[in-house]
Amino acid sequence: MMKVIDVIIPVYRRQEFIECIKSLQQAAYLIKNIIICSDDIRSLRSQLDEFNSRIPIKYLKESFSQFNKSVLVNSGIMQSKAEYILCSDADIIWNLETIESLLKNVMNKEKIAYIHQVFETQPQTEALTYKRYTYNIKQTKNNFTLNILQDQNQENFRPGYGLIMASRHNMLKFGGLKLFSGWGWEDVDVLIRGKILGLKTVAVGSVLHISHLRPSYEDLKIKRNQNIIQSLREIKVGKVFGPLSHNYNLNCPLNINIWIPPELTDHQDLGNIYA
């Protein structure tokens, strides 16, 4: 089979990215390029000097004062030349079976695939206690109902919404990732917008996450919650295209009801606009 996948890895102060790249070597027969997006390319390149990758590695420098995952991933999408794109975090250990399963699914041009389950190298990691939200979306004729829900299985099960594979055509169709603050919810937002635009989402396979401490889960929670609200406000008015689409400034008329947990509205001054 021809090499048809470009892997985009945004990297910010994560030494684990080398292990991620090593794990991708088992799928070398499928992967055309690994695209590393970072503000510190010189350091990353020097760390990889002694590693003989069977997959060509491209480096894409983006300068920023504060890490923004969407900016890095979108830059990678624009640089990509392969038919399919896999978005990876820098601290993920991949396996061949999962990559092959993702590709098999997205070769159906109407699908976006994401990782069904993420396991931890340290099962007792604090990451599994971090309150997460999930979603469901239903369509009846021309009406959508979008529910944002607290994930009830978070201590035992974690999906990899941000570990996405899709055709480059579809990535550009929905315009890449929205430009939220830092990171958090930009991945779920992609899946929701893809669904609204007529694509199917499918959960496939499993990967291993290299467990590590985060500086402040409270700060992450605040930014994530703000991003949820921004995402829903834009979807409510029909702003469903990301910045890579020529339709970015187009508001599509949508009949959509959005329901969110009360704790997300307490400090957001949203009133009942989603009820």
% of residues, the chain, pLDDT over 90: 55
Mean local confidence (pLDDT), 164-170: 96
CA–CA dist 247, 244 (Å, integer): 9
Per-residue pLDDT tens over the stretch 32-63: 999 999 877 777 777 777 788 999 999 988 77
Label residue 271 by pLDDT band (50, 70, 90). very low
pLDDT at 272: 44
CA–CA dist 89, 103 (Å, integer): 18
Does 77 fall in a domain? yes
9: CATH: 3.90.550.10
pLDDT at 28: 97
Q: Is the pLDDT of residue 263 over 50?
A: yes
pTM of the model: 0.91
Does 95 fall in a domain? yes
Does 79 fall in a domain? yes
Mean local confidence (pLDDT), 165-186: 91
Mean local confidence (pLDDT), 114-133: 80
pLDDT at 275: 41
Sign of CA dihedral 166, 172, 174, 180: positive
Question: What residues make up the domain containing 109?
Answer: 5-130+153-214
Per-residue pLDDT tens over the stretch 68-122: 889 999 999 999 999 999 999 999 999 999 999 999 999 988 899 999 999 988 8
Does 232 fall in a domain? no
Q: Domain count for the chain, please give it.
A: 1
pLDDT at 273: 44
Does 50 fall in a domain? yes
> How does 169-201 read in b/e, with b if 16+ C-beta sit within 10 Å?
ebbbbbbbbbebbbbbbbbbbbbbbbbbbebeb
The whole-chain average pLDDT of the chain stands at 86
Q: 66 or 34, which is more confident?
A: 34
For residue 30, which of 58, 51, 49, 54 has the smallest C-alpha distance? 54
Does 143 fall in a domain? no
